Amino acid sequence: MIPVFFIITILLVLWVHYQKRRTDRIATQSSEQFWEREHQANLTRKKDISNLDYIHVPVNTLPFPETDSEEIGDIQKHIYNLASGKIVNFTGKSNTDLKLEYGAPNINLLMEYDKNYLELVRSLYRYGKLLYDRGMANEAATILEYALSIKTDISANYTLLATIYKEKNNAEGINSVISAAEELTSMTKKALLSNLMAIRDSAVGQ
């Protein structure tokens, strides 16, 4: 009579072998699909990109107060410089997606526009934080609000703005930040929403 343990061991080995083959097959299919899409993307002809959703930074209405801080002055100049270029938010789209949609010959321009966007949202958060740390909460809020309007996915931007609203007893403002965060697709969305809820709850408890 064959021992039960031996049978279980054999079944376990067969199951592991099956799962490995299945995983390898799925990985191979995914790789083949990726390279097929990439091949098609590289063959896609150049398309008109004049009507992209370009971001125009309202430098004339955003707060750029005179300052004795070299750091703030530098970030202000950097945002001005970024505003003079072309900026597009391509968050969630790969280079392959961009080539398929707009044509392979446009990829370098599109990558530049996307890089400008990433640099802009980083700079806006840094600028807002610097203003907040120097006691200019109203100006900081305006900068951070603008960053939300162009769909920044920098979590700290949301939590700092919610904190400013909490300090101003602006419950509606905190709720607006939570609503904006709910539209994100980033991996940090769940943790961000949890932090924002905590800020809202602590504000209610004041």
pLDDT in tens, 191-206: 999 999 999 998 765 5
- The mean pLDDT value for 160-181 works out to 96
pLDDT tops 90 at residue 173? yes
The DSSP code for 46 is P
pLDDT tops 60 at residue 157? yes
Q: Specify the pTM.
A: 0.81
Residue with tokens 């408890």: 205
Report the C-alpha gap between 123 and 136 in whole angstroms. 17
Report the C-alpha gap between 78 and 126 in whole angstroms. 11
The DSSP code for 153 is -
The answer to whether 161 and 144 are in contact (CB under 8 A) is: yes
Report the C-alpha gap between 103 and 58 in whole angstroms. 30
pLDDT tops 80 at residue 3? no
- The mean pLDDT value for 95-103 works out to 93
